[in-house]
Chains A and B, each alone.
Chain A
Amino acid sequence: MNGILRVKNVTQVFESGSGPRRDRVTVLKDIDFEVREGEFVSIIGPSGCGKSTLLKIIAGLITPTEGSVEVPSAAAPGSLPIGFVFQESVLLPWKTALGNALFPFEVMGKDTKAREPGVRDLFRLAGLSGFENYYPKQLSGGMRQRVSIVRSLSYDPALLLMDEPFGAIDAITRDSLNDILLDMWRETKKTILFVTHDIAEAVYLSDRVIVLGTKPGRIIEIAMVDLDRPRNEDTKLDPRFYGLVKKLRERLK
């Protein structure tokens, strides 16, 4: 398998307290998997299984206790390898939606004007055309999260990491956000690693689903999702869809 992301035997131990009474908690144990270019992979697991920690290790925010992570290099010279979408939109409230989406270029010291057309295309893809000059406070939670996705894709990262991006959003809005995300994925051909605790969401979106067990967090199953694309409401009626959801749900019990 030709993976552009390689996670090799990652183990993460957190220590709390100090001295002889210090606790050592193994959050992740021997996590080992690869993600191919252009693949959409989800990680699911109960809360406390360390899935967010795993994503932060891959993003380079945490150095793993053991093991290593090989992330792809930046797509374009001077760009950044990783895009990250948080559970909250993490927008800057004094900047417009467009200003927020261009913010990475501001930090990189690049000409934001030159990047505007490309970012406007992403706004169109996200169904946000016409909202470029709105401030975050004027947008709904779902729209803010879409701006956050546009921001993470603006600099064309080689890998997009998403940490329960729709976890705080109501079920109805989440369905349409999932479809928008799939559209954006198809258009931009990104490699996406998506963390969620929603089994149906993981199956609906992904090519593969990695199931983490808890205490310590470890891979208990990697399931191929054998469903046709593009996916839509009909996908959810496919026996293979709810068969897989049922199987994964039992696996997580």
Chain B
Amino acid sequence: MKRRDLWIRFLSFLAAAAAVAGWHFYVTLGKVPAFILPGPEAVARQLISMVRDGSLLFHMGITSAGIVTGFLIGSVLGFVLGYFLAKSRVLEAALFPYLIAVQATPKVTLIPLFVIWFGLGLASKLLLVVLSAFFPVLLNTVIGFRSVPREYYELMRILNATERQMLYKVKLPLSLPILMAGLKVAMVQAVIGTIVAEWVSGKSGLGYLLVYGSTQFDSRLLLAAIFATTLVGLFFFWIIEIIESRALFWHESKIILEEGL
């Protein structure tokens, strides 16, 4: 098992190294102009210089702040509304089709409207991110609470449990796998929402950097910004994954992962 793990790591490192080497040789041997596609070392130099002058950290910080604020507000609102919606079968049945429709609509289509309503400032950006995170959490909260088998309610009634105990001791933990899946989608959506909002209305942040790089024909800056965006996206996704693996240590998908490899 140990040896297999090592082998997997090695192969995965090899794949990355091959991709970078391929990129390098394509650019140098193919004599690709630098404004079309700069080589990996040029992008690395760009990144290093941006780390040195603090601009990379500044823009990553702005973007991260947008992601975190929007994600937190959106998922808390989504959870609270989902909780109440799941309590009423009638309300849920009446509203659920619309929720699916809204969830299927890319939230970025709303941003031109937000710009008209709220201008190019922070409000438009935050609203988009909040909405991006809100719907997946709302949807999965409803689905998660609905998925709790009836027997658990009956057991708790026989044990004379309160509504609160039912929520905290049974419903919440039992639907946690579905809630966490919703949070993951919400996080991905929040990252996309933030970047797009900065594209359209920002004066800072990685999304702004991407648009700026494009108008300046600065491919080095663009690739550096893409790389930084990937890092930010991965970082936040990874945080959710860590929370999930702590909270869901008992869940089937984790046990299969542990035993399967």
Q: Which residues does A use to contact B, with CB under 8 Å?
A: 56, 59-61, 80, 82-84, 86, 88, 90, 92-94, 103-104, 106-108, 135, 137
- Looking at chain B's contact residues, the main secondary structure is helix
Tell me whether B170 is interfacial, beta carbon within 8 Å.
yes
Residues of B within 8 A of A88 (CB): 149, 151
- Contact A93–B251 (Cβ < 8 Å): yes
Total cross-chain contacts (CB, 8 A): 51
In the docked arrangement, what's the CA distance between A135 and B159, Å? 22
Q: Mark B132-164, 1 if CB is under 8 A from A, else 0.
A: 000000000000000001011011111111000
Q: Classify chain B's interface size.
A: 20 to 34
15 cross-chain CB contacts under 8 A: A59-B154, A60-B158, A61-B154, A80-B160, A82-B158, A83-B158, A86-B151, A90-B152, A92-B170, A94-B250, A103-B169, A107-B159, A108-B159, A108-B160, A135-B250
- Contact B165–A107 (Cβ < 8 Å): yes
Q: Which residues does B use to contact A, with CB under 8 Å?
A: 149, 151-152, 154-161, 165, 169-170, 173-174, 249-252, 255
In the docked arrangement, what's the CA distance between A106 and B159, Å? 10
In the docked arrangement, what's the CA distance between A109 and B154, Å? 19
Other contacts beyond A56-B154, A82-B158, A84-B158: 20, CB < 8 A: A80-B158, A80-B160, A84-B155, A86-B154, A86-B155, A88-B149, A88-B151, A90-B149, A90-B151, A92-B169, A92-B174, A93-B251, A103-B159, A103-B169, A106-B169, A107-B156, A107-B159, A107-B165, A108-B159, A137-B252
Report the minimal beta-carbon distance from B49 to chain A, rounded to whole angstroms: 49
7 A-B pairs with the lowest CB-CB distances in the bound complex, closest first: A94-B250, A107-B159, A90-B151, A86-B151, A93-B250, A107-B161, A84-B158
Residues of A within 8 A of B169 (CB): 92, 103, 106-107
- Contact B249–A94 (Cβ < 8 Å): yes
Q: Counting chain B CB atoms within 10 Å of each CB, which of A56, A80, A92, A108 scores highest?
A: A92
From known contacts A92-B174, A106-B169, infer whether A137 and B250 are also in contact, taking CB-CB under 8 Å: yes
- Contact B154–A84 (Cβ < 8 Å): yes
Report the minimal beta-carbon distance from A32 to chain B, rounded to whole angstroms: 24
Query: In chain A, what residue has the closest Cβ to B170?
Result: A92
Query: In chain B, what residue has the closest Cβ to A56?
Result: B154
In the docked arrangement, what's the CA distance between A42 and B156, Å? 24
Query: In chain A, what residue has the closest Cβ to B158?
Result: A84
In the docked arrangement, what's the CA distance between A90 and B150, Å? 10
Q: Counting chain A CB atoms within 10 Å of each CB, which of B155, B165, B250 scores highest?
A: B155
Residues of A within 8 A of B252 (CB): 137
Query: In chain B, what residue has the closest Cβ to A151?
Result: B155
In the docked arrangement, what's the CA distance between A27 and B174, Å? 32
In the docked arrangement, what's the CA distance between A135 and B255, Å? 11
Residues of B within 8 A of A107 (CB): 156, 159-161, 165, 169
Residues of A within 8 A of B161 (CB): 107
Report the minimal beta-carbon distance from A82 to chain B, rounded to whole angstroms: 6
- Contact B251–A61 (Cβ < 8 Å): no
Residues of B within 8 A of A83 (CB): 158
Residues of A within 8 A of B157 (CB): 60-61
